[in-house]
Amino acid sequence: MTPTHFAFSSAFMLGLTGLAFHRAHLLSALLCLEGMMLTLFIALSIWTLQLGALTLSATPILLLAFSACEASTGLALLVAATRTHGTTRLQGLNLLQC
């Protein structure tokens, strides 16, 4: 495994570990997801550059667009949960009470 692959794998695993262990607040979960998506974006960009395939050149931009949609939806849910429940803690949010 090259140092570049190790760096991206460890960054992705660090985001996944943060998502698994620090799920107390919605914002920390969103930040971990965003870190994972940015790691995937950089790794996918480098992979398409190494392959030199023109057909895959739009894939990193598509992933970045989906990541932006995910971030905006997550922030909208964060604002809505704060307004209705008064907290961003994930334990206090119950879908049956909404």
Give the chain's length. Answer: 98
Between 10 and 24, the higher pLDDT residue: 10
The predicted-structure confidence for 17-65, as pLDDT tens digits, reads as follows 998 988 788 888 889 999 999 999 999 888 888 888 888 888 889 999 9
Q: 95 in a domain, yes or no? A: no
What's the total number of domains in the chain?
Answer: 1
CATH code for the domain of 53: 1.10.287.3510
Model pLDDT, residue 77: 87
The predicted-structure confidence for 88-98, as pLDDT tens digits, reads as follows 777 766 665 55
Report DSSP state, residue 24: S
CA–CA separation, 78 and 74 (whole Å): 6
Q: 96 in a domain, yes or no? A: no
- The residues, ordered by sequence, that sit 6+ positions from 80 with a Cβ below 8 Å of its Cβ are none
Q: 90 in a domain, yes or no? A: no
CA–CA separation, 31 and 12 (whole Å): 12
CA nearest neighbour of 38 among 86, 75, 70, 2? 70
> What is the pTM for the complete model shown?
0.81
CA–CA separation, 38 and 88 (whole Å): 24
Q: 81 in a domain, yes or no? A: yes
